[in-house]
Amino acid sequence: MTARAVMVLGTSSHAGKSLLTAALCRIFAEQGHRVAPFKSQNMSLNSAATPEGLEIGRAQALQAEAAGVVPSVHMNPILLKPAGNMTSQVVVHGKIWGRLSAAEYHQRRVEELMPLVCESYRKLAEENDVIVLEGAGSPAEINLKQHDIVNMRMAEMADASCMLVGDIDRGGVFASLLGTVELLEPAERARIRGFVINKFRGDASLLVPGIRAMEDRIAKPCVGVVPYIESLSLDEEDSLGLPARDALYETRWSIADSSRPLRVAIIAFPSLSNFTDFDALRSEPSVAVRFCRKAEQLRGADVIVLPGSKQTTDDLLWMRGEGLESAVIEHARTRLVAGICGGMQMLGQLILDPEGIESSGSIQGLCLLPFKTTMRPSKITLTCTGQLVTGFLFGRAVVNVPLRGYEIHVGETSYVGHAQPFAQLVRQTTESQESVVDGCISPDSRIFGTYLHGLFDGDDFRHAFIRAARKFYDLTPATEFNDWGSKRQQSFDRLASSVRQSLDMAQIFDWVGLRFHTHPARRMNEASR
């Protein structure tokens, strides 16, 4: 191993580790260093497909994007996807390895996987100058510490200098920082080079007495206070990042004239996966998005979207119990409906699971589209490009609109009768490509389903979707559209700029034996961005 290593640890989940890791990746890259992110084990229902046709956590794909490099399965060798009943699907090196209970995984199996984690880290370390590692949860979870392969054990293996991040927005930041350090062993404590207070709102001078007291108590320097960054259009790792309902949000939904936003209701399944599929749609000024868990929240919706689900049949049964299924079916009689991945499978006639991949037996779908789905043990994880098959969406002509996204699913869909596919796709890997049909669309094109995650990230399709839906409801045509790719890069730059100004970057670079240049002579390769 040759790479230098710095690690971002947190006092808790959602402390901001993922985005701080992304910011550091970008800053090291801007300084001209070859840099890669690494998280040995991630637990998330938000995932991404790599060019190799493998699956990793979405956060590591985002961090790779921040660094201007291609995402690799070695950046996240183990991905745990919660599957209900205290079990998780275990994805190792991008492929399904098994489904285990939390106890079985931590007590019996995790040690089997550590050599694979080391293999992935060594490969990245041989190819890069700097590795920015991300921890998980807290390094002080003493009940899990014996078999923790994400935090201090990984820091030791990589010989990483660590920063400890506390989230002041949730309260109790000083107690959480002190408690975390106190629960570490002396050798682990020595690896913590400094601490960071994250998501601060207000006058930072008011923090000074607490920071000085904390520095004295734990004998570690504060390397900065990072402000809360509003409206950052970057992926959240878990459901804690789902938008909360607020007054402004509800006001936009309740506007009644023809220039109002298009109202898009997304069913917030208990096992909702890849909710980042809708970040680009949420950013559009002519759209109001609401995540819904009750039937009454669907009132007034123009488009209802059934998103991805890790437990498709369980979430379908949950919909039935909450009255959401009947509300969607009634909406679909005259209005617009879309389904993504697991949500698409629910729109069909039948879901069969003969091998008990998610649950045993079969379950009737919403019967809004003519197809059935059979769950299979193997998972498809591929990036795709394509075109609409019919050239119509919501009854409006949509010509030559390119599609792009990625598939992550275990279902195999077969058509019934004269079903019409939604898209013609080219599945791509680094070694081959394959042409396939995808999804299904109703004869009047008011209802469609697709396996494509990331569908709305493409400006061409997202803008066509908005235009067609607004025209269907005789709403005033949208006059302003976002360039999502540019918006993301601006968000990366804004994140990196805020972190660069807030943290003592010279000290952090010194931890890994590098010099920080205030005005770097060599920046990231723009083509890689």
Q: Which residues are the active-site residues? A: 341, 453
Token pair, residue 142, equals 């003493």
Buried b vs exposed e over 166-196: b needs ≥16 C-beta within 10 Å?
Answer: bbbeeeebbebbbebbeebeeebbebbbbbb
262 CB-near residues (< 8 Å, 6+ apart): 286, 287, 288, 302, 303, 466, 469, 470, 473, 475
380 - beta bridge partners?
409
One-letter-per-residue 3-state SS of 462-527: HHHHHHHHHHHCCCCCCCCCCCHHHHHHHHHHHHHHHHHHHECHHHHHHHCCCCCCCCCCCCCCHH
Strands 262-267 and 303-306, bridge-based pairing: parallel
Indicate the DSSP class of residue 295: G
Decide: 45 and 201 in contact? Cβ < 8 Å. Answer: no
Decide: 346 and 337 in contact? Cβ < 8 Å. Answer: no
CA-to-CA distance for 230 and 227, rounded, in angstroms? Answer: 9
Burial class of residue 9, CB neighbours in 10 A (0-12, 13-18, 19+): buried
Q: φ and ψ at 432, to 5 degrees?
A: -160, 175
CA-to-CA distance for 281 and 338, rounded, in angstroms? Answer: 14
Whole-number Cα distances in Å, 213 to 99, 206, 508? 46, 13, 22
Q: Can you list the alpha helix ranges (DSSP code H) found in 382-439?
A: none
Strands 78-84 and 55-57, bridge-based pairing: unpaired
Decide: 328 and 303 in contact? Cβ < 8 Å. Answer: no
423 - beta bridge partners?
388, 438
Decide: 312 and 342 in contact? Cβ < 8 Å. Answer: yes
Coil/strand/helix, residue 382: strand
